[in-house]
Amino acid sequence: MTELVNGLKDALEYTRLYRDQIFVLKLGGEVLSSPEALDNVAVQVALLESLSIRVLVVHGGGPQASALSRQMGLQPEIVAGRRVTSPAVLEVAKMVYAGQLNVDVVAALRRHGVSSVGLTGIDAGLVTVHRRPPVEVTDDDGITRTVDFGEVGDVDSVDTRLLDVLLPRGHVPVVSSLAADSEGRVMNVNADTLAAALAGALGAQKLIYLTGAPGLLRDPDDPSTLVAFAAPEDLQALLLSKSVKGGMRPKVEACLRAVKSGVRRTHIIDGRTPDALLLELFTGGGSGTMIVGEREKRTYETAGR
Amino acid sequence: MTELVNGLKDALEYTRLYRDQIFVLKLGGEVLSSPEALDNVAVQVALLESLSIRVLVVHGGGPQASALSRQMGLQPEIVAGRRVTSPAVLEVAKMVYAGQLNVDVVAALRRHGVSSVGLTGIDAGLVTVHRRPPVEVTDDDGITRTVDFGEVGDVDSVDTRLLDVLLPRGHVPVVSSLAADSEGRVMNVNADTLAAALAGALGAQKLIYLTGAPGLLRDPDDPSTLVAFAAPEDLQALLLSKSVKGGMRPKVEACLRAVKSGVRRTHIIDGRTPDALLLELFTGGGSGTMIVGEREKRTYETAGR
Amino acid sequence: MTELVNGLKDALEYTRLYRDQIFVLKLGGEVLSSPEALDNVAVQVALLESLSIRVLVVHGGGPQASALSRQMGLQPEIVAGRRVTSPAVLEVAKMVYAGQLNVDVVAALRRHGVSSVGLTGIDAGLVTVHRRPPVEVTDDDGITRTVDFGEVGDVDSVDTRLLDVLLPRGHVPVVSSLAADSEGRVMNVNADTLAAALAGALGAQKLIYLTGAPGLLRDPDDPSTLVAFAAPEDLQALLLSKSVKGGMRPKVEACLRAVKSGVRRTHIIDGRTPDALLLELFTGGGSGTMIVGEREKRTYETAGR
Amino acid sequence: MTELVNGLKDALEYTRLYRDQIFVLKLGGEVLSSPEALDNVAVQVALLESLSIRVLVVHGGGPQASALSRQMGLQPEIVAGRRVTSPAVLEVAKMVYAGQLNVDVVAALRRHGVSSVGLTGIDAGLVTVHRRPPVEVTDDDGITRTVDFGEVGDVDSVDTRLLDVLLPRGHVPVVSSLAADSEGRVMNVNADTLAAALAGALGAQKLIYLTGAPGLLRDPDDPSTLVAFAAPEDLQALLLSKSVKGGMRPKVEACLRAVKSGVRRTHIIDGRTPDALLLELFTGGGSGTMIVGEREKRTYETAGR
Amino acid sequence: MTELVNGLKDALEYTRLYRDQIFVLKLGGEVLSSPEALDNVAVQVALLESLSIRVLVVHGGGPQASALSRQMGLQPEIVAGRRVTSPAVLEVAKMVYAGQLNVDVVAALRRHGVSSVGLTGIDAGLVTVHRRPPVEVTDDDGITRTVDFGEVGDVDSVDTRLLDVLLPRGHVPVVSSLAADSEGRVMNVNADTLAAALAGALGAQKLIYLTGAPGLLRDPDDPSTLVAFAAPEDLQALLLSKSVKGGMRPKVEACLRAVKSGVRRTHIIDGRTPDALLLELFTGGGSGTMIVGEREKRTYETAGR
Amino acid sequence: MTELVNGLKDALEYTRLYRDQIFVLKLGGEVLSSPEALDNVAVQVALLESLSIRVLVVHGGGPQASALSRQMGLQPEIVAGRRVTSPAVLEVAKMVYAGQLNVDVVAALRRHGVSSVGLTGIDAGLVTVHRRPPVEVTDDDGITRTVDFGEVGDVDSVDTRLLDVLLPRGHVPVVSSLAADSEGRVMNVNADTLAAALAGALGAQKLIYLTGAPGLLRDPDDPSTLVAFAAPEDLQALLLSKSVKGGMRPKVEACLRAVKSGVRRTHIIDGRTPDALLLELFTGGGSGTMIVGEREKRTYETAGR
Question: pLDDT value at position B172?
Answer: 98
Residue B94 phi, psi (nearest 5): -55, -45
Q: Which of E64, E103, E165, E187 to mutate to test the interface with D (most CBs of D within 10 A)?
A: E103
How far apart, in whole angstroms, are the C-alpha atoms of residue E278 and residue E121? 28
B123/A122 touch (CB, cutoff 8 Å), yes or no: no
Q: How far apart are the first and last CA of chain B?
A: 26
Residue E8 in any domain: the answer is: no
Asked if C262 is an interface residue toward chain F (Cβ–Cβ < 8 A), one would say no
HEC string of D59-113? ECCHHHHHHHHHHCCCCCCEECCEECECHHHHHHHHHHHHHHHHHHHHHHHHHCC
Question: pLDDT value at position E6?
Answer: 72
The answer to whether F272 touches F31, Cβ cutoff 8 Å, is yes
CA F297 to chain centre: 22
Three-class SS state of E91:
helix
Q: Which helix (H) or strand (E) holds E37?
A: helix E35-50
D278/B5 touch (CB, cutoff 8 Å), yes or no: yes
Is a pLDDT exceeding 50 seen at residue D298? no
Q: CA angle at residue A271 from A270 to A272, to 5 degrees? A: 95
Half-sphere exposure for D34 (CA within 13 Å, toward CB): 15
Domain span holding position A121: 19-298
How far apart, in whole angstroms, are the C-alpha atoms of residue D196 and residue D202? 10
- What average pLDDT is seen over chain E? 88
Question: pLDDT value at position A224?
Answer: 87
Of F155, F163, F224, nearest to F187 by C-alpha is F155
Lowest mean pLDDT among C197-206, D61-70, E246-255: E246-255
Is a pLDDT exceeding 50 seen at residue C303? no
Highest mean predicted confidence (pLDDT) among A263-277, E233-247, F63-77, F154-168 = F154-168
Of B107, D68, B105, nearest to A129 by C-alpha is B107
Calculate mean pLDDT across residues C239-245.
Answer: 78
Written as one letter, the residue type at C243 is S
How far apart, in whole angstroms, are the C-alpha atoms of residue F227 and residue A228? 70
CATH number where E179 lies: 3.40.1160.10
Residue B276 in any domain: the answer is: yes
Lowest mean pLDDT among A242-246, C110-114, F272-276: A242-246
Calculate mean pLDDT across residues D80-96.
Answer: 90
Task: Please report how the helices A248-260 and A191-202 are oriented relative to each other, as an axis angle in degrees rounded to 10.
Answer: 10
Calculate mean pLDDT across residues C226-253.
Answer: 83
Question: pLDDT value at position D301?
Answer: 38
E162/D171 touch (CB, cutoff 8 Å), yes or no: yes
Question: pLDDT value at position C209?
Answer: 96
Is a pLDDT exceeding 60 seen at residue A295? no
Please report residues of B whose CB lies closer than 8 A to that of A39.
none
How far apart, in whole angstroms, are the C-alpha atoms of residue F29 and residue F60? 7
Highest mean predicted confidence (pLDDT) among B21-35, C217-231, D136-150, F141-155 = B21-35
Q: pLDDT for A187-240, tens place per residue?
A: 999 999 999 999 999 999 999 999 988 888 888 888 888 888 888 888 888 888
F65, closest residue in chain C (CA to CA): C95
The answer to whether A305 touches A231, Cβ cutoff 8 Å, is no
Residue B222 in any domain: the answer is: yes
Q: Which of E122, E161, E183 to mutate to test the interface with D (most CBs of D within 10 A)?
A: E122
Q: Where residue B2 falls among pLDDT bands split at 50, 70, 90?
A: low
How far apart, in whole angstroms, are the C-alpha atoms of residue E178 and residue E94? 8
- Give CA separation, D176 vs B57, D46, E133, in Å: 47, 19, 34
How far apart, in whole angstroms, are the C-alpha atoms of residue C110 and residue F159? 13
Half-sphere exposure for A226 (CA within 13 Å, toward CB): 16
Question: pLDDT value at position F301?
Answer: 38
Beta strands in chain B (DSSP E): 22-27, 54-59, 78-79, 82-83, 116-120, 127-131, 135-138, 144-147, 153-158, 172-176, 178-181, 186-188, 206-211, 229-230, 265-270, 289-292
Question: pLDDT value at position A204?
Answer: 96
Q: Which of A57, A110, A127 to mutate to test the interface with B (most CBs of B within 10 A)?
A: A110
Question: pLDDT value at position A298?
Answer: 46
Calculate mean pLDDT across residues C121-138.
Answer: 94
ipTM summary value:
0.91
Written as one letter, the residue type at B265 is R
Q: CA angle at residue C242 from C241 to C246, to 5 degrees? A: 155
Residue C5 in any domain: the answer is: no
E200, with CB counted inside 10 A (0-12, 13-18, 19+), is buried
Highest mean predicted confidence (pLDDT) among C69-83, C276-290, D76-90, E205-219 = E205-219
CB proximity list for A82: less than 8 A, separation 6 or greater? A149, A152, A190, A250
Provide the number of structural domains found in chain B: 1
CB proximity list for F141: less than 8 A, separation 6 or greater? none
Strand order in the sheet with E265-270: E116-120, E172-176, E54-59, E22-27, E206-211, E265-270, E289-292, E229-230
Calculate mean pLDDT across residues A259-275.
Answer: 89
How far apart, in whole angstroms, are the C-alpha atoms of residue F108 and residue C184? 7
Q: What is the distance in angstroms between the Cα of F172 and the nearest Cα belonging to chain E?
A: 16
Is a pLDDT exceeding 50 seen at residue A303? no
CB atoms within 10 A of CB E130: 14
Written as one letter, the residue type at B202 is L
Q: pLDDT for B159-186, tens place per residue?
A: 999 999 999 999 999 999 999 999 999 9
Question: pLDDT value at position E298?
Answer: 46
Q: pLDDT for C27-68, tens place per residue?
A: 998 899 999 999 999 999 998 998 889 999 999 898 999 999
Is a pLDDT exceeding 50 seen at residue B305? no
CB atoms within 10 A of CB F214: 18
How far apart, in whole angstroms, are the C-alpha atoms of residue D241 and residue A288? 80
Is a pLDDT exceeding 50 seen at residue E162? yes
CB proximity list for D222: less than 8 A, separation 6 or greater? none
Question: pLDDT value at position E235?
Answer: 85
Residue D5 in any domain: the answer is: no
Residue C305 in any domain: the answer is: no
Highest mean predicted confidence (pLDDT) among B153-157, C229-233, F50-54 = B153-157
Question: pLDDT value at position F285?
Answer: 64
Asked if A111 is an interface residue toward chain C (Cβ–Cβ < 8 A), one would say no
Strand order in the sheet with F153-158: F153-158, F127-131, F178-181, F186-188
pTM of the entire structure? Answer: 0.84
Put simply, the chain A residues between 55 and 74 with a CB less than 8 A from any chain B CB are: 71-72
Asked if D122 is an interface residue toward chain E (Cβ–Cβ < 8 A), one would say yes
Please report residues of B whose CB lies closer than 8 A to that of D287.
none
Lowest mean pLDDT among B217-221, D158-162, F92-96: B217-221
Q: How far apart are the first and last CA of chain E?
A: 26
Of E160, E190, E123, nearest to D120 by C-alpha is E123
Q: What is the distance in angstroms between the Cα of D123 and the nearest Cα belonging to chain E?
A: 5
For chain B, what percent of residues have pLDDT higher than 90?
A: 56
Task: Please report how the helices D2-18 and B2-18 are oriented relative to each other, as an axis angle in degrees rounded to 10.
Answer: 70
Q: What is the distance in angstroms between the Cα of C187 and the nearest Cα belonging to chain F?
A: 10
Highest mean predicted confidence (pLDDT) among B239-248, E133-142, E210-219 = E210-219
HEC string of chain C? CHHHHHHHHHHHHHHHHHCCCEEEEEECHHHHCCHHHHHHHHHHHHHHHHCCCEEEEEECCHHHHHHHHHHCCCCCCEECCEECECHHHHHHHHHHHHHHHHHHHHHHHHHCCCCEEEEECCHHHCEEEEECCCEEEECCCCCEEEECCECEEEEEEECCHHHHHHHHHCCEEEEECEEEECCCCEEECCHHHHHHHHHHHHCCCEEEEEECCCCCECCCCCHHHECCEECHHHHHHHHHCCCCCCCHHHHHHHHHHHHHCCCCEEEEEECCCCCHHHHHHHCCCCCCEEEECHHHHHCCCCCCC
CB atoms within 10 A of CB C181: 16
Closest CB to A15 among C12, C50, C279? C50
Question: pLDDT value at position B4?
Answer: 64
Is a pLDDT exceeding 90 seen at residue C78? no
- Give CA separation, B85 vs B88, B177, B267, D158, E31, in Å: 8, 13, 28, 68, 83
Please report residues of F whose CB lies closer than 8 A to that of E6.
3-4, 7
Q: CA angle at residue B235 from B229 to B241, to 5 degrees? A: 125
Residue F269 in any domain: the answer is: yes
Residue D79 in any domain: the answer is: yes
Lowest mean pLDDT among B97-101, C87-91, C107-111, E75-79: E75-79
Question: pLDDT value at position C284?
Answer: 64
Lowest mean pLDDT among C142-156, D36-50, E1-15, F281-295: E1-15
